[in-house]
Structure formats: structure tokens, C-alpha cells
Amino acid sequence: MGLCKCPKRKVTNLFCFEHRVNVCEHCLVANHAKCIVQSYLQWLQDSDYNPNCRLCNTPLASRETTRLVCYDLFHWACINERAAQLPRNTAPAGYQCPSCNGPIFPPANLAGPVASALREKLATVNWARAGLGLPLIDEVISPEPEPLNSSDFSDWSSFNATTTSVQEERASTPSAPAFYSQAPRPPPSPSRPEQHTVIHMGSTEALAHAPRKVYDTRDDDRTAGIHGDCDDDKYRRRPALG
């Protein structure tokens, strides 16, 4: 038994193997979250300790840790992965500490900073919520992105060069007038021979029934006399003067 040096000055049997001081549970959670802490009697028997996680054999200080009610310390990711591999119908007593085979779930009547911190951490995963009697939460599994095949893409350097040349060509080309945006007109058709104008003179029936004009030969003689001298009068025999 020893006295914790924190302001609470509580009597405790817990001992930090790394700092070699007596600690209470409040100090254990707040200031010694990644330290090897066991009873003072165990330290007297064997002061050696292993600073690595017993599941992955990597330093405990390198990752997030969680402490069970037996005070054994593990990486939270290691405990979570190990427990998630068990069947879904595993009873709460089937989840045991990998080191001492003690229960992972704290007893319902156990109170204290260590048990409260452990319950809060276990409530974040479904396999532990079932053991704590809490409703399950919806787990959103994000689909893994498919690996891109680099052979499907051309060389990016040539792609950038082509894009740059196209942009320069567009910049150097003057903007086309507005009328070029209209639809092109069809080319003029080849010249056609002029067609004669047809004048409609009426129906053929009217022409068929039109009266014929009768010319009188006597009108010609009258006309010739009126107009005066003509070729026939020049050679006509005139009567002798008596």
C-alpha cells in the first residue's frame, strides 16, 4: 500500500513500473495512460516489464492504447481487431484478456475511472455494444477505390504538350466574324436557258368560232385612187385628145 502524490492523496496499491511511483486510478487515467501499472506487490516480486504491446509486439507509446479492468494495457486497434474476429453470437464472457484471460467487459457494479474509460471506449464498436447491452450503430462501409491501370493512360507530358499547342493555336487564330456562324448558303445553280414567255390568248374554242374577215377587192381600187399615182396608171393607155 502506498500514498499517491496527487492532490487527492489517496491510498493505493497500484504502482507505475516506469516512473516507480504509487498512482491512484485518477492519475492512472490522466497521467499514466501508456505506462505499465500493476500492484506494488508484483513490482516487488519482479520489477522487469515489457513496454511493447503483447498482441503486435510494438511499443505501446506508438499508438492509441486502452486499459482493461485487470490493468493490462494493449493497443486499442489490436484489441478491436482480435475481438471483431469472434462470432457475432459470442457471449460477453467469451471476450477475454489476451494476457490473463480476465473479462474484457467491466462488471456492471464496478465503478471507477478505469472502468468508466473502458466502457466509453467499448461503446464505439458494435461487437462491444452488444456485450454492454447498448443498441447497435449503423456502420458505413466506404467502398474501396479501384486501382487505376496506368497502361490505359498516355504519357502525361505529351498530353500537356498537345494541350498547350492547341491552346496557342486557338489564341493565335483571329476570331471569326459573326456571319460565319450562320449556316452556309448553297452554291448557285448552273445557268439555265431562258424560257420563252407564253402568252395565253384565250381558249381554243374562242379562236375556232371567231368570224373570218372578208376582204373586198374593190377596196383596193378605191385605196389606190385615193393614194394617187400608182404603177398601173403609168402604163394605162390614155385617150387621144380631140
Neighbours of 65 (CB within 10 A): 19
Q: How many helices and strands (H and E) does the chain possess?
A: 9, 7
How is residue 187 written as a grid cell? 452554291
What's the pLDDT at 143?
54
What's the pLDDT at 140?
55
What's the pLDDT at 10?
85
| Residues of the chain falling short of pLDDT 70 | 139-242
Sorted by where each starts, the structural domains of the chain and their CATH numbers stand as: 1-49 (no CATH), 50-135 (3.30.40.10)
Per DSSP bridges, beta strands 65-67 and 37-39 are unpaired
What's the pLDDT at 164?
57
What's the pLDDT at 177?
46
Torsion-angle region of 57 (φ positive above 0: left; ψ -120 to 50: alpha; else: beta): left
- CA angle (59 as vertex; 64, 105 as ends), nearest 5: 45
Mean pLDDT of the chain: 75
What's the pLDDT at 20?
92
What's the pLDDT at 9?
81
Q: Which of 16, 6, 69 is nearest to 40 (CA)?
A: 16
Cβ atoms 5, 18 nearer than 8 A: no
- Output the 3-class SS for 76-129: HHHHHHHHHCCCCCCCHHHCECCCCCCECCCCCCCCCHHHHHHHHHHCCCHHHH
Q: What are the tens digits of pLDDT across the range 131-159?
A: 888 888 776 555 555 655 555 554 555 54
